[in-house]
Amino acid sequence: MDLKAWARQRGYAIAWGPPDLISEIKNEMEGRYEAGEVDPGLSRRYLRFSYTALGVDPIRQVGIAATPVPAHTIRFESATGAVTVLVPPTYVGDDSLTAAVIGDLACALGQDGIRAGVLSIPRKLLATRLGLANYGRNNIAYVPGMGSYVMLSPFATDQALEPRSFGGQAA
């Protein structure tokens, strides 16, 4: 299967690489926890990564797909009037898009006998390690050609993909 074509047809960007990135990212996160760089309450509540992919064993490849998503608008009412703010899609916490993207990918790869599943890992770290995104000074990941309003969907496969590449607008 041509993953570049799959991504391009959907307006996505995609990158993949070796599974040893999982342990590298896990070690980096554990070091941040131990150094006190991450609030323990925050990590217990929001940063629960298993570094595994349901239904994929062994993991032979890891990857990430970037899907353009508009900002969310939230309106607050206050004593002085209404305030409307834009919230980047990565802060909304809705994983239904990730499930749909990786489900579509799994279906496409399944035609070649490859299993794929959502990978539980820090998304921005994986995207930057794979070269799909860059970190800005504000800790927001930017995908070239797409900007920061993207949903990052990490995945793992049980077979190696040929060759490591990019697709979609981030080419």
| Rounded CA separation 171/166 (Å) | 6
- Mean pLDDT confidence for 53-71: 93
**AA identity, residue 98:** T
Give residue 4's pLDDT.
85
Q: Does the structure show a pLDDT above 90 at 136?
A: no
- Mean pLDDT confidence for 146-163: 90
Residue ranges making up the domain that contains 104: 3-170
Instruction: Give the dihedral sign, CA 88/26/98/40.
Output: negative
- Mean pLDDT confidence for 34-52: 86
Q: Does the structure show a pLDDT above 80 at 66?
A: yes
- Mean pLDDT confidence for 143-164: 89
Q: Based on the structure, what is the number of domains in the chain? A: 1
Q: Does the structure show a pLDDT above 70 at 98?
A: yes
Tokens encoding 14: 């995609």
CB 89 within 8 A of CB 126: no
For the entire predicted model, the pTM comes to 0.86
